[in-house]
Amino acid sequence: MKIIMLGAPGAGKGPQAKQIAGKYEIPHISTGDIFRANIKNGTDLGKKAKEYMDQGLLVPDELTCDLVMDRIQQDDCKNGFVLDGFPRTIPQAEALDAALTKIGQSMDYAIDVDVPDENIVNRMSGRRACLDCGATYHIVSLPSKVEGKCDHCGSDLVLREDDKPETVQKRLTVYHDQTQPLIDYYKNQGILKSVDGTQPMEAVFTAITDILGA
């Protein structure tokens, strides 16, 4: 099963993608996580990506597409994968389609986790992230067991630079300009499904599994 998660930054597509990956035993591929791992390891890609990420801008397609195309051709992706945060532009979607067509495949589902902008800004200011293992929390809806500490690795939790309110506004503008057109793109392909992302996380996940099947 090959799934794309769509939705504004902060719509909750990351935690949903992780749960989908667990239930259907397919890899969770998050371009944001890949960039953050590169930043942490001080790679050239990480240095370039950080300049864009800290400003709430998209990393250019030429730095993004090849790394995803390489990833989805690895062995563990044979039975499918769930893409989280990719594609984010029409050229990225076209590059993905072209790569899959070459190997006689296509995406199965694009799931849009729909949350209005006004909810997003509130949500993101409460988001906390572990920069060591990438886990994310929310001070109200998904708190860590010990305040300020990651449940998985015990590291400090922080408000990510790109989750600060002024950056979130910028990311929302970028989302509407560059990513939202993908909703029509996948609607035209007949694979778009929408879920109401304002519901509690468990209800969103149930709506998604209703779409994907047991």
Residues that bind ligand AMP in the complex, under the rule CB under 6 A: 9, 31-32, 35, 52-53, 57-59, 64, 85-86, 88, 92, 162, 171
Cβ proximity to ligand AMP: between 24 and 52 the closer is: 52
Q: Least distance (Å) from ligand AMP to the CB of residue 212? A: 21
Q: Least distance (Å) from ligand AMP to the CB of residue 113? A: 12
Based on DSSP, count helices (H) and strands (E) in the chain, helices before strands: 9, 8
Cβ proximity to ligand AMP: between 74 and 206 the closer is: 74
Q: Least distance (Å) from ligand AMP to the CB of residue 175? A: 9
Task: Tally Cβ neighbours within 10 Å of residue 69.
Answer: 15
Query: Is 13 one of the annotated active-site residues of the chain?
Result: yes
What is the three-class DSSP state of 13?
A: helix
Residue of minimal Cβ distance to ligand AMP: 32
Q: Least distance (Å) from ligand AMP to the CB of residue 213? A: 26
User: Which residue of the set 13, 36, 123, 128 is catalytic?
Assistant: 13
Query: Is 127 one of the annotated active-site residues of the chain?
Result: yes
Pull the structure tokens for residue 103.
């190997």
* 8-18: burial string, b at 16+ Cβ within 10 Å, e else: bbbbbbbbbbb
Query: Is 171 one of the annotated active-site residues of the chain?
Result: yes
Report the half-sphere exposure of 70 (CA within 13 A, side-chain side): 7
AA letter at 105: Q
